[in-house]
Amino acid sequence: MTVIRLNNVRKSFGTYDVIKGVDLEINPCEFMVFVGPSGCGKSTLLRLIAGLEDITSGTLAFDDKVVNSLTPSQRGIAMVFQSYALYPHMTVYDNMAFGLKLAKGGADEIKRRVNEAAEMLQITGYLDRLPKQLSGGQRQRVAIGRAIVRDPKVFLFDEPLSNLDAALRVQTRLEIAKLHAKMHETTMIYVTHDQVEAMTLADRICVLRDGNVEQVGTPMELYEKPQSTFVAGFIGSPKMNFLTEKFADAYRAHTLGVRPEHLEIRDKAGTWNGKLILSENLGSESYLYIDIGAKDPLVVRQDGSARQQPGDLLHVSPINDNVHRFDQTGHPAQA
């Protein structure tokens, strides 16, 4: 039940500012996801919260207690690293027990907690193996297990799925979601560059850009009411279409954003007309790339497989006028 408050937190490496004054409040027991393109500072922000990097200025507080100068273990955090970072020379059991042993826990207590965590993650069978004898997915579970046994107040994940293959990634994502449901007293922060992970796991998402918070909100808020073209383009897959000039002028906007799933092909008299350049069939749905004379082709999502042929003239309209209007600064346009 820990609330985390960041107050004007800055981080510089030499003269280079990575985090440029972040104000953020992470609610107790919340699953917060930091998302953004590479180099936006999301991992650095996580490492500042973990205590692996020193905060240049500003304050970081856990439950109103400033923790700027505390070590990671004093802060009561646990962290899962992108590369697992298991101790190669220790068995799975010793990997998980290492932190407890350092904290001088009793032998019985250590054993009980390791076994409990192992059961939760279904790794009881591998406790006496070395990390090199495990597969990538098993290693990642051990890394999660090592974090669980310490019963942390704050649980940090640094891109934990990026080394797994696609199928395993989906499976592990579900397990992390289940873990969050079970550890309902723990605040979790999760860093990813993958917006699908962010959308599926998060209670709230914090979108970062160049060391600044771009927008914080629930996944649906970010999807439905993006506060900038950056967030609009980052959340949602495939990416939102952006139209400018004459296309946007018709809607009294500088930039007009329309999601591919909010466009439909009409038989005639569409809002925009153009030739089909390419279609991608995914079976359950397909994406049509249409040249309507704008800078980039317009992407339209369509249920089922595409019946149209490249070169066909198509008419496209937004469904229910579901469009996002942005002004010159990239923020939502007023009325």
Partner 1 sequence: MPVAIKNTAFYGLVALIVLFAVFPFYYAIITSLKTGSALFTIEYWPTSFSLANYVSVIETGSFPRNLLNSLVVSGLVVALSLLMAVTAAFALARVRFRGRSLLLLTILSVSMFPQIAVLAGLFEVIRFLGLYNTLWGLIFSYTIFTLPFTVWVLTTFMRDLPIEIEEAAIVDGATPWVIITKVFLPLMWPALVTTGLLAFIAAWNEFLFALTFTSSTETRTVPVIIALLSGNSAHEIPWGLIMAASVIVTVPLVVLVLIFQRKIISGLTAGGVKG
Q: Does 223 bind partner 1 (CB under 8 A)?
A: no
Q: Does 89 bind partner 1 (CB under 8 A)?
A: yes
Count of residues interacting with partner 1 (CB under 8 A): 31
Does residue 233 sit in helix, strand or coil?
helix
Q: Which stretch binds partner 1 (CB under 8 A): 132-140, 259-267, 287-295, 302-310?
A: 132-140
Spatial contact of 292 and 246, defined as CB atoms under 8 Å apart: no
Closest Cα partner for 299 from 272, 251, 263, 254?
A: 263
At CB < 8 A and 24+ separation, what contacts does 181-185 make?
A: 182/120, 183/148, 183/155, 184/29, 185/1, 185/29
Query: Of these, 127, 134, 188, 189, which contacts partner 1 (CB under 8 A)?
Result: 134
Assess 72 for contact with partner 1 (CB under 8 A). Answer: yes
Figure out which of the listed residues 3, 29, 61, 130 binds partner 1, where binding follows CB under 8 A. Answer: 130
The rounded distance, in Å, linking the Cα atoms of 117 and 132 is 20
Q: Binder to partner 1 among 103, 174, 177, 313 (CB under 8 A)?
A: 103
By the rule CB under 8 A, 12 interacts with partner 1: no
Cβ neighbours, 10 Å, residue 171 = 12
Q: Which of 19, 24, 86, 154 binds partner 1 (CB under 8 A)?
A: 86
Nearest distance, CB of residue 328 and partner 1, angstroms: 44
**Integer angstrom CA distances of residue 236 from 51, 112, 166, 189:** 32, 43, 19, 21
Tell me the closest approach of the beta carbon of residue 61 to partner 1, in angstroms: 19
Among 28, 37, 136, 310, interactor with partner 1 by CB under 8 A: 136
Of positions 17, 20, 81, 212, contacts partner 1 by CB under 8 A: 81
Give the C-alpha distances (Å, rounded to integers) separating 72 from 210, 287, 320: 25, 46, 51
Rule CB under 8 A: say whether 91 interacts with partner 1. no
Hey, what are 112's tokens? 């009980």
CB nearer to partner 1: pick between 74 and 281 = 74
Among 99, 233, 330, 332, binds partner 1 (CB under 8 A): 99
Smallest gap, in angstroms, from Cβ of residue 110 to partner 1?
Answer: 13
Phi-psi region of 291 (alpha: psi -120 to 50; beta: other; left: phi over 0): beta
Is-contact 29 184, C-beta < 8 A? yes
Nearer to partner 1, 77 or 117 (CB): 77
